[in-house]
Structure formats: C-alpha cells, structure tokens
C-alpha cells in the first residue's frame, strides 16, 4: 500500500503533465492561426481598395523650366584629349589651374598684396572644376595613355562660336563638342578648334563647323544683376549633360586671387550648385540671359559646398570681342607700376591721402618711369577723374589703347603734381621682368626698439644693400604677439623708412623708434631682399 507521501507526489506529477499538454495545444493552435494569416492557404481581402490614377493638372508657371527649355539646346558638353608626351610636365591637374599661393605673376600695374586670409583659403579656391574625368589619374600624359578632361560651354554665334573657360581646353591636343541634340552614339562629339584664349580672365573661344545655324544664348547685363536675384546654371557636372541647378546671387565683385592673378577677375558669387564639369557653362538670370560664366568653386572636397564663382557677362563680352578680332588676343593698357591694395588707415594718414593708389614699384624703362613717376608717389586722378583704389586704376588704364596718352595726377611729398603718360601694352611692359635669385645674407645682432615694437634689427649687409639698391636695417627677430608681429613684419625683411624717415642704419632706426608713443601711427617701408623686384611694401598700424 502506497504511503500518503507517494500519493501526493504522483498527483503533483500528473498536474504538471496536464499543464504542459495544455500549453502544447495552445502553441500548435496559434501556429496554425498564424499560418492562416501569413501563409499561402489564406489570402487577405482587398475588395474595398481603390486603384490609384495619375492625375494630369496644370502647375503654376515656372521660370526655371522655361529657361531650361529655351537655353538648354545652346549649352554644350566639351571633352578634350591630351596625347602622350615624351617629355615635359604635360597637363596640369584640375585643381592646379590657378597660380598657387605666394606665386608672383607680373602684370599690369600689379596689386602685390598676397595675404591669402585665414586658413589659407587660397588652397581651396585653386580647386577648379573643369579638369579630368573623376577618378582618372593625371600624370601629365607621360604614361603612354591619352588624358581626358571635361567641361561645359555655350553657343553665342549660330556659326558655331562657343564660349568656355581657358582651363577647360588648356594644353589640349584635341577638343570635341557635343550638342544636346547630338545622338549618344556620336562618341566624343564634333571636333573644335581654338579661336583665342585670355588667361587673365580664364576665358576661351572655340568653334565647331556646322552646315546649319545653331541655337544661341543671349548675353545679359551683369552690372544690373543684384545680390538676392534668382539664377540658373546649366552644364555637364560629372559628365551628366544638361544638368540644371538653381540658386541666388549671394555676392558680387568677389576677387578670390590676390595680387596680379586676380586683378581682372571680379566674380559673381552664387549658391547654385556647380560641380566638376560645370566649368565654362552659363549662369542665367530669370530672363534666360547669360550673366556669367561658371569658373570656380570654393571647396574642401572638390565638390559642391554652396559657393561658386562666375565671370560677369560684361567682362566676357569685352574679352570675346577681342578674341574674335584679327589679332585673336586681348590687349590691355599699362603704365608699368606695381602697388599694394588694402593698405591700413595708418598708411593713408602718414602719407596724407584718403583715395588713390600708393606706388610700390616702377618698372624700369616703362611708361610711368619715362613720365617721372617714382615709388612712393600717390596716384590720385586720370584725366581729371579721381581714382578711388587699385581696381579703379587698373580698369581705367587697362581699357586704354597702347599708344594713347593720359594725364596722370599724383601727390609727391604732400604736393599735387601731374604728368602725361603714354599707355603701353601690358604684355610688353612686363615681358622683361626678371625672376629673383634668393639669398641668405643675414647676420645676428641685437636691436633697439624691441621694447616698443617687438622687433630686433641690425644693419643690412652690403650684399643686401647692393641687391635692393637701398640702405636699411634687416629684421633679425620678431617677438610673437608684438606690434611688429601683428603688422606682419618677418625676419629677413629690410626696413628702409619708418614714418617716412630714413632708417639707413641701426642708429637711425633707434632714434626714430625712440620717439614713438602709444597711439601713434607707425608705417614701415620694407623690402624683401629675396624678391627685390617687388619693390617697397608699406606696412603699418596704430601703436
């Protein structure tokens, strides 16, 4: 006979088995229910669903659509080939088409201010976007392979004349143009030839042969365009032809290359998306007129980052008309001077002028030297019209024909004077400018003025004096954060004057500096012995 404990144990086990059996049945039932919902045996009903239909209804007028349809046929895709070379550097990379920072290119009445701004933004501006096909290496064409590049352009004459950027076709051996109406099977496109180029504005004119008139664009007035105006860009970014983007004019009169390289480049800035391959394409206003040629972008990635630059149409028209002339070149006037833009207020006050241009260097044998202009003169007027700044001076003189004369007003030692200057050809005036030879001719020594200015100087060595054709003191060291450091003085520069007073030697320098007091304007006249051809640089501020 079983004990009470054994009977209770048996009942407990039976209860557990019964519970497990019930759970198993529930799980199986749920599985069948789910299979009925999601499986093939049971389909859901959709008898109450309404089929969708495409609705065709009028949309509000859109100027961007209209412009794209009207102008699109006149925008072309440009492909170039550079054949393998046996020697030489060959084709440059697409982000190297502009002179690199600190390179000097002599030019008309040069602005020699090469301050590139914080973080050396110039490196980013140098990233032009007309270069080679993305992902394709550029070794200058010396690897036995044909190098290809791409860009855009637009037809301005029904006979086949096309405007684009010089850097799109630069050094190309073969140029091909594909119209929007050309079939995709036509390989690279129609052969084109170069009519003329202008490197100063990065513009070019090419031509294709045609048996029938081609669609053209209209050139608008860029001077009437305003910041905030809507604009549309059409081009072939990444070889994607007839790509349309839109934005606004975000700024005007932007100069992204300082000094001589940028003196004829004053861009329209836009946030319309432009990328590699857009270069040379049109920037259009809401009338469908070209107000700019897309030329450069600001980028850290070689792609769109919200800022692009277009050469204004008024400049483009002037250059185009010169390039299709019998000479096929742009001739600009020059008087053979160099100057620095953006001088501080202290320089203006010490030298006694508000508006005008302070001459930094006079080209030997040039028109200005023949007319008696000297370094330190302040050009204030041309033919009686006041000159506001360096851009005003360059634009006025560059527009004059070589051989013509102007009456140049200037100030020397505080006295107004004038002289007649015969305009020269810019290319010829600066053709013989020699490249400087570097030297390392410095001695160590102490320097008076360290307490006030933070600069230690010494007498300039005789070799340096001979090279720069001037006496002065050479900077031995500059204390970080000092007045001299904040003004941009650097070791190796030669100071020839302080506040127009000669500092031919250390003793003279000490005397002049000892008289300075807080609140005084201090202007240094300095020469870089490594680049004496750049002439005098005026650096100053308020102590």
Model confidence over 171-223: pLDDT tens digits? Answer: 888 899 999 888 876 577 899 999 999 998 999 999 999 999 999 999 999 99
Model confidence over 484-495: pLDDT tens digits? Answer: 888 888 899 999
Which residue from 358, 330, 333 is spatially nearest to 430, judged by alpha carbons? 333
- Within a 10 A sphere around the Cβ of 64, how many other Cβ atoms? 14
95 is catalytic: no
What is the spatial distance between Cα 280 and Cα 77, in angstroms, rounded to a whole number?
Answer: 9
Distance set, CA 73 to CA 20, 67, 237 (Å): 79, 11, 16
Tokens of 482: 């000092």
**Hey, what domains does the chain have and what are their CATH numbers?**
62-330 (2.40.10.120), 333-429 (2.30.42.10), 450-542 (2.30.42.10)
Secondary structure element (H or E) that encloses residue 391, with its range: helix 390-398
Which residue from 207, 195, 220 is spatially nearest to 158, judged by alpha carbons? 207
408 versus 125: which is more confidently predicted? 408
What is the spatial distance between Cα 343 and Cα 353, in angstroms, rounded to a whole number?
Answer: 11
Would you say residue 299 has pLDDT above 80? Answer: no
Q: Which residue carries 């054949």 as its tokens?
A: 83
Which residue from 215, 128, 133, 204 is spatially nearest to 164, judged by alpha carbons? 204
Residue 231: its pLDDT value, please?
A: 95
User: Are the C-beta atoms of residues 445 and 476 closer than 8 Å to each other?
Assistant: yes
User: Are the C-beta atoms of residues 237 and 278 closer than 8 Å to each other?
Assistant: yes
250 is catalytic: no
- Which of 166, 202, 377, 476 is catalytic? The answer is 202
- Which of 95, 149, 167, 257 is catalytic? The answer is 167
Distance set, CA 74 to CA 151, 155, 370, 426, 518 (Å): 14, 5, 49, 34, 64
For residue 418, the cross-strand partners are 409
Q: Which residue carries 């299979």 as its tokens?
A: 35
Q: What integer is the mean pLDDT of 126-143?
A: 42
Residue 81: its pLDDT value, please?
A: 85
Q: What integer is the mean pLDDT of 148-173?
A: 91
Whether this model's pTM surpasses 0.85: no
DSSP conformation class of 31: H
Secondary structure element (H or E) that encloses residue 370, with its range: helix 367-370
Tokens of 334: 């020059």
Would you say residue 158 has pLDDT above 90? Answer: yes
Would you say residue 417 has pLDDT above 70? Answer: yes
125 versus 26: which is more confidently predicted? 26
What is the spatial distance between Cα 71 and Cα 90, in angstroms, rounded to a whole number?
Answer: 35
Residue 135: its pLDDT value, please?
A: 39
Which residue from 512, 127, 99, 78 is spatially nearest to 309, judged by alpha carbons? 127
Q: Name the band, by pLDDT with cuts 50, 70 and 90, for residue 445.
A: very low
Q: Which residue carries 């250390």 as its tokens?
A: 506
Tokens of 407: 């009456």
For residue 502, the cross-strand partners are 497
Q: What integer is the mean pLDDT of 301-308?
A: 73
- Which of 279, 459, 476, 497 is catalytic? The answer is 279
187 versus 62: which is more confidently predicted? 62
Model confidence over 277-286: pLDDT tens digits? Answer: 888 999 999 9
Residue 310: its pLDDT value, please?
A: 93
Q: Name the band, by pLDDT with cuts 50, 70 and 90, for residue 27.
A: low
328 is catalytic: no
What is the spatial distance between Cα 242 and Cα 77, in angstroms, rounded to a whole number?
Answer: 8
What is the spatial distance between Cα 392 and Cα 534, in angstroms, rounded to a whole number?
Answer: 21
Q: Which residue carries 């006079």 as its tokens?
A: 362
If you write DSSP's letter for every residue of 163-207 in order, what string do you get?
Answer: EEEHHHHTT-SEEEEE-TTS-TTSTT-EEEEEEEEETTTTEEEEE
Residue 121: its pLDDT value, please?
A: 38
Would you say residue 324 has pLDDT above 60? Answer: yes
């Amino acid at each position: 006979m079983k004990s009470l404990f054994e009977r209770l144990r048996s009942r407990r086990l039976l209860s557990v088995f019964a519970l497990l059996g019930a759970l198993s049945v529930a799980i199986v039932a749920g599985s069948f229910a789910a299979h009925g919902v999601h499986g093939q045996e049971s389909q859901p009903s959709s008898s109450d669903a309404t089929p969708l239909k495409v609705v065709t209804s009028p949309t509000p007028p859109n100027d961007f659509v209209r412009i794209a349809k009207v102008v699109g046929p006149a925008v072309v895709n440009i492909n170039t080939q550079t054949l393998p070379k046996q020697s030489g550097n060959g084709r440059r990379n697409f982000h190297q088409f502009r002179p690199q920072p600190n390179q000097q290119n002599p030019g008309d009445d040069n602005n020699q201010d090469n301050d590139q701004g914080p973080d050396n933004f110039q490196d980013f501006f140098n990233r032009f976007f007309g270069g080679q096909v993305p992902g394709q290496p550029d070794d200058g064409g010396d690897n036995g392979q044909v190098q290809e590049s791409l860009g855009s352009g637009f037809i301005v004459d029904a006979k086949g004349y096309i405007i684009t950027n010089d850097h799109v076709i630069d050094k190309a051996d073969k140029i091909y143009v594909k119209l929007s109406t050309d079939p995709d099977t036509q390989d690279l496109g129609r052969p084109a030839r170069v009519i003329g180029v202008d490197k100063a504005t990065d513009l070019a004119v090419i031509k294709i042969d045609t048996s029938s008139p081609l669609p053209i664009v209209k050139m608008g007035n860029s001077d009437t365009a305003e910041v905030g105006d809507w604009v549309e860009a059409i081009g072939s970014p990444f070889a994607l032809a007839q790509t349309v983007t839109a934005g606004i004019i975000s700024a005007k009169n932007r100069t992204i290359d300082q000094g001589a390289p940028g003196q004829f480049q004053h861009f329209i800035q836009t946030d319309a998306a432009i990328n590699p391959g857009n270069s040379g394409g049109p920037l259009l206003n809401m009338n469908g007129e070209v107000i700019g040629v897309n030329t450069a972008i600001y980028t850290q990635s070689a792609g769109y980052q919200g800022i692009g630059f277009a050469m204004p149409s008024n400049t483009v028209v002037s250059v185009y008309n010169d390039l299709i002339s019998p000479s096929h070149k742009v001739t600009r006037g020059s008087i053979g001077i160099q100057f620095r833009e953006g001088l501080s207020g202290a320089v203006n006050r010490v030298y006694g002028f508000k508006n005008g241009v302070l001459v930094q260097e006079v080209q030997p044998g040039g028109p200005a030297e023949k007319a008696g202009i000297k370094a330190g003169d302040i050009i204030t007027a041309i033919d009686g019209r006041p000159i506001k700044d360096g851009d005003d001076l360059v634009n006025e003189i560059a527009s004059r024909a070589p051989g013509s004369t102007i009456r140049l007003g200037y100030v020397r030692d505080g006295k107004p004077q004038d002289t007649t200057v015969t305009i020269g050809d810019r290319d010829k005036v600066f053709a013989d400018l020699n490249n400087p030879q570097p030297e390392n001719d410095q001695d160590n020594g102490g320097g008076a003025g360290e307490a006030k200015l933070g600069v230690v100087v010494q007498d300039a060595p005789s070799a340096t004096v001979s090279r720069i054709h001037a006496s002065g003191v050479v900077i031995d060291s500059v204390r970080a954060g000092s007045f001299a450091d904040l003004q941009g003085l650097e070791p190796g520069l030669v100071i020839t004057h302080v506040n127009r007073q000669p500092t031919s030697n250390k003793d003279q320098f000490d005397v002049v500096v000892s008289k300075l007091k807080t609140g005084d304007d201090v202007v240094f006249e300095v020469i870089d012995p490594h680049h004496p051809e750049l002439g005098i640089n005026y650096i100053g501020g308020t102590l």
